[in-house]
Structure 1
Amino acid sequence: MARSGHGRETVAKVSFLGLGVMGFPMAGHLAAKGHEVAVFNRTAAKAKAWAEKHGGRAAQTPREAAEGSEFVMVCVGNDDDLRSVVLGPDGALAGMSKDSVLVDHTTASADVARELHAEAAKMGIGFIDAPVSGGQAGAENGALTVMCGGEEAPYARAEPVIMAYARACRLLGGPGAGQLTKMVNQICIAGLVQGLAEGLNFAQMAGLDGRAVVDVISKGAAGSWQMSNRYETMLDDKFEFGFAVDWMRKDLGICLDEAKRNGARLPVTALVDQFYGEVQDMGGGRWDTSSLIRRLKH
């Protein structure tokens, strides 16, 4: 991406692949910042709707979206989804030019990040694994935290573009480091949400006013993002929103698989993963991850 004489970034040609609850607003922030954006989504109607709302171009294939782009952003579901939009004759890499940069925002395995980095490198294309944290609200508000892995040169070029929808972005190591950091993020969240669920359920069983309790303890060492943003809906038994249990189980499965390889012990994470399995059995696969409290009530 070119720089103006005052060192400010000018607009870039960008494509965004995957317009789910995260990707749709993320791509919207790119357009709002003045970037020239092409989009692709497996459900073509969603890409058309995005283009009508934001004025960009809807492409029929990932390759078509990527052609002529300086940066290609991807945000899909899992490793297989990622390979399907990046590799092959209709994949993004087939349409990208040398010295362009592929930025993957999918929460996926470190292995697939390294695999795609190697494939991109063969073509002289930069690759950054860049999973995000902040959920749908963070994507809509342009306030995501982005954890990156890859080489410094392509990262330095991509960072100003990523900041269209981020409040923090950092390179944490080589290929796969972003995904490994996202695993740390999910490991920490799992234990926090279970602890919060147990605490709130205990308060209710003890006859306390849960809101009054949180008002006090949130100002001390027990305070957390989860407590501040999820306690009310947990007390009200409402979970039809947020980050789905199905996706959290996918993420925790990645964490547990990686731990088997590196020897890390994750006893609490493994237990909470089982608890999420019970929530799925209750029909809560699409409930927010804070629904762990419902398991304690039933």
Structure 2
Amino acid sequence: MNNMRSKIVPKETVPTLESDGCITFEENLPYPFVHYPSRFGSFLGFQENENTPIYFCSCQRKGLEIYLFNQEFKFGHIPKSLRYNLGEPSQNTLLFKDKVCHVCNKHCPKFAFGKTLRGTKFYSIYGYYIHGLSFEYGIGSLGRVYAPELIPHEIVPNLITRSYVDKMLDEESLTDFLRYCEDVIRIRMGYFAIGKQWTTEVKLLEIIKKLYPNHTVLHQYPLDHLKADIFIEELSLVIEYQGEQHFKPVAFMGGNEALEITKARDKGKAELCNYYKLGIVYFDYNDDLNERMVKERISLYMKKRNDYY
């Protein structure tokens, strides 16, 4: 495990780009020709060889869609080689391929994102993917709020700005939000999370990935217009973490009105799971999350489900 972690975040310095993007060859990736965006960009392109199409990784599809629909498109978040013909009308022409990026392959990029005031060495290397995930969650890399309904409910209580009237997160909230995104990317790569009070859902995700290493475990899995917290693909099983705001009104989270919205969303998820014949297991803020109890709850549910069918 330590050897794997040292490959993800090597001890030696990873160089940063001095130019506006570049194309490199990285033999450990399935599509080894890598198209980098400008420094502090968000989306990378990948080619199987120099004469084949350029693909984006499927894990960044939603983030790229949010990016192209909004004004930050004019900045250098995408590779220079892909900018000339990209715009909202051409989004349907974009090509995506599963598991071609550095995160999906647990491989350190040849060029780092760059050091920022936000801090960790992991962030300085994988900031491309952290910012790409930020777009997926409806917030631009500079804190502009494009789609507040996409912000994971686990992080919302910790954002000082919750009304989004000015469509911007304040600096402290943006720092917290990007730290949440960093934890998600860390866990996807099998790297340890930073750990803060809002990462209970991420902690649950980490436990499930450890319990089911040979399964496809997805975070924020789309269920039509809603999202499941966690989805274990091979088991057709949704895992939901429910904080205190799912059961009683919490003043700073919107009180009774927010509670009713949350209950309606939870009901909608349950109905979609039933429609698509997906199982669903719940954990909540009263649970003392650990590997044993998570395994027991899932196993008990799967046994009852299998006996029923």
What TM-score does the superposition give when structure 2 sets the normalisation length? 0.32
More helix per residue: 1 or 2? Answer: 1
What TM-score does the superposition give when structure 1 sets the normalisation length? 0.33
